[in-house]
Amino acid sequence: MDYKKLTKQMIDFQKATFENTFNALTMLQDQSERMANMFLEQTSGIPDEGRKAINEWIKAYKKGREDFKKAADESFKKVEDFFAEAEKSKSK
């Protein structure tokens, strides 16, 4: 049994699972943002400071999400590079 191939398949599965889960959470967060914006537009009693705070919170959430995705993608890339190098060494 080729353990490197099996491990690579497991990593590929984990990456696909991460991508699907991340995309689902992104859609949920985007929907929540639309609802918050709709709420802000329809509610007149919220002061400007409150609106600014909510908008800043949304921006921070998006930045955190993007940073997390970038870090995860870099980590998966490192693992893929490791297995590519291992495959090259095996063929030599």
pLDDT at 1 over 70: no
Task: Indicate the pLDDT class of residue 46, thresholds 50, 70 and 90.
Answer: confident
pLDDT at 92 over 70: no
pLDDT value at position 61?
A: 92
43 close to 49: Cβ distance less than 8 angstroms:
no
88 close to 4: Cβ distance less than 8 angstroms:
no
Q: Where are the domains of the chain?
A: 65-92
pLDDT value at position 22?
A: 97
C-alpha 63/C-alpha 26 separation (Å) is 12
Q: Residue 53: how many CB atoms within 10 A of its CB?
A: 12
